[in-house]
Amino acid sequence: MIDTAQHERPALRHARFPFHYEQHQGGSPEAERLVFDKLARELAGVRRGNRHGGPAHLLRTVHAKPALGVDNARIRFHDDLPEALRVGYAQPGAEYPAAVRLADASGAERPDAAPDLRGMAVRVQAGPGGTHDLLTTSFPVSYAADAREYVAFAKAMGDAGSAAERVFGLLVKLPLAVGWSTAARMRRHVHTATRHMVGSLARETFWSCGAILWGDAGPVRYRLRPAPGSTPAPPPDRGDPGYLHRELTQRLSTGDVCFELCVQRYLDERRTPVEDGSVEWQESDAPVVPVAVLTVPRQDLEGAEACSAAHRVERLAFNPWHTTEEFRPLGNLNRARRAAYEASGAQRPGPRFPTATPRRDAVLSLPVRAAFGLVDRCVPWHRLPLPPVYRGGGS
């Protein structure tokens, strides 16, 4: 067990002052919100001009192509959880049900062999204490340090349809917006993050990139890494556009898939910055402490029950702010996400059909049942493709 005593004194000194760790752009939350509103308008303009663009909300992640969606996972905290990390629902031996979604990061459905980041979203149902959403990606840092850089990148690349336009955006437009050294760092992160070929999502590590508060322990970054002892990843199947889902289907047909939830604890703003999402917290400075195990149980992902669960998970809108004050997200990018989710929440699509009376419902259901009966003779209902309306949400 890693000794965490070196962190306890500074964490306790600032335990009840989470804003001590944050530096709001413009000097106050109110001034920063005005900056976020301006950036959101700029990003909306980019998305309107890009016919492939998604919803015009700041930092809204699409993750259009899921590889896994289950709601029968479990997360269990270690019996020897360090005393300093025993906060809220994180208690020794505590176990909770969880929903898990694994997906590409792109907003467009592309072959699994295409360069891309991957994402894991976990919703922990912590009983009366509420839910806790953990959102992670397959790279330890964000290519953007803050919301301003994120929008600058989007504006530089928003109308880049051809390879020449993408090169011009990266080498000319982006440096003019953020400076040459910052643009070089952003290009380097994007290139490194997307060139990795994934053989199995069960063997990938996923990072939070940004920090969250962990009660009196102060800020942490967390990651989900493969638990020891699982089967190695096979070579990527470049000829199968959906091989990541099929690999998980095969893997889960023979055994559980487990990830370790680990945290790194805050030291200081130089070595473990809260506001800059582009800086990695080095393990030599902030040791990785395993705190829990997330288990996706063995199951048949092709069965009707699993397909129904996948549909339910697709309806979820994962949000890092779905948590308690003890575990609130920290940093510029997370605060921008909160503004984005608040804005998008009011504009989510409502029911797709008008409210029906019992008589109208009975009449309308007759042709619907007949149509499903015909379709089911050829393709079982649980194998039908998921409608695009379920692919929105926070992640």
Q: What average pLDDT does this structure show over 264-277? A: 95
Other C-beta atoms closer than 10 Å to the C-beta of 10 total 14
Which of 65-79, 153-167, 326-340, 376-390 tops mean pLDDT?
Answer: 65-79
**Which is higher by pLDDT, 96 or 27?**
96
pLDDT in tens, 49-80: 554 443 334 443 456 789 999 999 999 999 99
Q: What is the pLDDT of residue 59?
A: 44
Say if residue 113's pLDDT is above 50. yes
Q: Which residue has the tokens 């040459």?
A: 180
Which pTM was predicted? 0.80
Say if residue 331's pLDDT is above 90. yes
| Residues forming beta bridges with residue 221, ordered by sequence position | 264
**Which is higher by pLDDT, 26 or 292?**
292
Domains, the chain: 5-350 (2.40.180.10)
Say if residue 368's pLDDT is above 90. no
Q: What average pLDDT does this structure show over 189-199? A: 89
Per the rule left: phi > 0, alpha: psi between -120 and 50, beta: everything else, 136 is beta
Q: What is the pLDDT of residue 230?
A: 81
Q: pLDDT category, 382, cuts 50, 70, 90? A: very low
Q: What average pLDDT does this structure show over 290-300? A: 98
**Which is higher by pLDDT, 42 or 241?**
241
Contact 256, 229 (CB under 8 A): no
Q: For residue 37, what are the CA distances in angstroms to 54, 155, 347, 348? A: 18, 16, 16, 19
Say if residue 372's pLDDT is above 90. no
Report how far residue 25's alpha carbon sits from residue 36's, in angstroms, rounded to the nearest whole number: 9
Residue 108 tokens read as: 């467009």
Say if residue 394's pLDDT is above 90. no
Q: In this predicted structure, which of 80-89, 235-244, 271-280 has the lowest mean pLDDT?
A: 235-244
Q: Which residue has the tokens 């898939």?
A: 257
Q: pLDDT category, 388, cuts 50, 70, 90? A: very low
Q: What is the pLDDT of residue 195?
A: 85
Mean pLDDT, rounded, of the chain: 81
Report how far residue 212's alpha carbon sits from residue 326's, in angstroms, rounded to the nearest whole number: 9
Q: What is the pLDDT of residue 358?
A: 43
Residue 392 tokens read as: 């929105």
Return the H-helix or E-strand segment holding 341: helix 332-345
With H, G, I as helix, E, B as strand and everything else as coil, classify residue 380. Answer: coil
pLDDT in tens, 130-187: 899 999 999 999 999 999 998 998 888 877 777 888 889 999 999 999 999 999 999 9
Name 108's Cβ contacts closer than 8 Å, sequence gap at least 6.
52, 64
DSSP state of 384: S
Quick one: 142 exposed, middle or buried, by C-beta within 10 A (0-12, 13-18, 19+)? Answer: buried
Say if residue 10's pLDDT is above 50. no
Q: pLDDT category, 266, cuts 50, 70, 90? A: very high
Q: In this predicted structure, which of 55-64, 198-207, 277-286 has the lowest mean pLDDT?
A: 55-64
Other C-beta atoms closer than 10 Å to the C-beta of 388 total 9
Nearest to 217 by CA among 2, 4, 20: 4
Report how far residue 224's alpha carbon sits from residue 227's, in angstroms, rounded to the nearest whole number: 9
